[in-house]
């Protein structure tokens, strides 16, 4: 007990007297720069005013810590991947909702069975090659962009590391194939995708999907032409930015790489979201559309309904073939064409 009392008295003696005097003003402290903080400010080159000196010769070799890189990483991890994920999920939701509300757009008058040639074999090879390469790049790109928040919790670290590593290698290898396919697409389809008189009318009528009015179109309508030029122009931007990213030894600095990455990802997300709409309208969304890219031929009623100006030319130049002739060209048994048409019309 005595010892405890003694201890309390000793502790009170150690407390400065000023602590108990509330009225006295504290003595002004001496302002001293923290030498550590100043050192790290210089090391991080936070103000971006100067670059350090290094014996190493190379781009950005004088930069010890890239402060802008933090901004880019935060943007990539928080905004880019989050909004990108929402964009992809959102477009699927919109397409499903549209299908539920609007259903499959039927051909006015149904399928006639009489066909007209729309695309050559080469044009379809170019289209599907670009489509396959694009889908592969989209899938691997999404794994790289959204894998950490979406796939990692599902599959665990080991499996996800395999997926991410494989995706990166596959994405880098297939990237230049996209550029080659894009150039083939540009050469094959550019002439027919030049805007012409009447295209704006198609746009004002919502392409025939909105409202009841008929939307007049040529060989390609305004929507298809816009999608085509989007693919070409954004595709070129994606390709060039992608080549900058896979060739870090060409002399570009970190800032250019970071900007390229952002441009590459945003461009790819735009193409991916719009491509979902393209795939929907080219398949289940519109009756008879897929046939053009599948067999090279479309039903003349489909041509009249969606591309009436081109359909008129087909009528005038007598380019329409019978169901029997179409079946023969496709190597089908006699009568198979009519059966298929009847099935499709149901």
Residues in contact with other proteins by the rule CB under 8 A:
121-122, 124-125, 128-129, 132-133, 158, 161-162, 165-166, 169-170, 173-174, 176-177, 180-181, 294-296, 329-331
Residue 186 or 329: the one with the smaller Cβ distance to other proteins is 329
SS3 213: coil
Min separation Cβ 169 and other proteins, Å:
5
Closest CA relative to residue 268, chosen from 128, 170, 171, 180: 171
Min separation Cβ 138 and other proteins, Å:
15
Residue 63 or 185: the one with the smaller Cβ distance to other proteins is 185
- Exposure string for 227-248, b = 16+ CB within 10 A, e = fewer: bbbbbbebbebbbebbebbeee
CA distances, 299 to each of 173, 291, 310, 314, 318 (Å): 39, 8, 13, 11, 14
Residue 48 or 166: the one with the smaller Cβ distance to other proteins is 166
Min separation Cβ 117 and other proteins, Å:
12
Min separation Cβ 329 and other proteins, Å:
6
Cα three-residue angle 118-314-204, rounded to 5 degrees: 80
Residue 126 or 231: the one with the smaller Cβ distance to other proteins is 126
Min separation Cβ 332 and other proteins, Å:
9
Task: Judge whether 114 and 320 are in contact, CB under 8 Å.
Answer: yes
Residue 252 or 330: the one with the smaller Cβ distance to other proteins is 330
Residue 54 or 165: the one with the smaller Cβ distance to other proteins is 165
Order across the sheet with 320-321: list the strands.
Answer: 297-299, 115-117, 320-321
DSSP per residue, 87-104 = HHHHHHHHHHHHHHHH--
Task: Judge whether 299 and 285 are in contact, CB under 8 Å.
Answer: no
Min separation Cβ 173 and other proteins, Å:
5
Structure-token match 């670290």, residue found: 157
């Amino acid at each position: 007990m005595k010892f405890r009392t003694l201890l309390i008295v000793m502790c009170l003696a150690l407390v400065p007297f000023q602590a108990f005097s509330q009225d006295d003003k504290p003595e002004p402290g001496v302002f001293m720069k923290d030498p550590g903080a100043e050192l790290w400010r210089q090391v991080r080159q936070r103000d971006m005013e100067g670059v350090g000196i290094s014996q190493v010769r190379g781009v950005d070799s004088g930069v010890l810590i890239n402060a802008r890189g933090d901004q880019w990483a935060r943007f990539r991890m928080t905004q880019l991947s989050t909004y990108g994920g929402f964009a992809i999920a959102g477009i699927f939701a919109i397409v499903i909702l549209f299908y539920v509300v609007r259903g499959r757009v039927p051909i006015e008058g149904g399928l006639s069975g009489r066909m007209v040639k729309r695309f050559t074999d080469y044009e379809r090879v170019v289209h599907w090659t670009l489509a396959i390469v694009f889908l592969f790049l989209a899938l691997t790109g999404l794994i790289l962009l959204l894998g950490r928040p979406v796939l990692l919790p599902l599959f665990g670290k080991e499996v996800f590391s395999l997926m991410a590593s494989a995706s990166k290698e596959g994405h880098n290898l297939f990237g230049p194939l996209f550029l080659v396919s894009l150039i083939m697409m540009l050469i094959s389809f550019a002439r027919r995708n030049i805007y012409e008189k009447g295209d704006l009318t198609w746009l004002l009528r919502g392409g025939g999907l909105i409202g009841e009015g008929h939307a007049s179109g040529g060989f390609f309508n305004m929507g298809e032409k816009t999608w085509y030029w989007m693919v070409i122009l954004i595709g070129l931007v994606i390709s060039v930015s992608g080549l900058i990213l896979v060739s870090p030894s060409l002399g570009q600095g970190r800032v250019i790489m970071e900007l390229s990455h952002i441009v590459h990802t945003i461009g790819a997300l735009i193409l991916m979201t719009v491509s979902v709409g393209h795939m929907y309208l080219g398949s289940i969304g519109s009756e008879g559309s897929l046939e053009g890219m599948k067999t090279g031929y479309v039903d003349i009623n489909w041509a009249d309904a969606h591309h009436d100006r081109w359909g008129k030319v087909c009528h005038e130049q007598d380019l329409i073939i019978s169901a029997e002739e179409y079946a023969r060209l496709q190597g089908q048994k006699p009568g198979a064409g009519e059966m298929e048409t009847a099935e499709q019309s149901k």
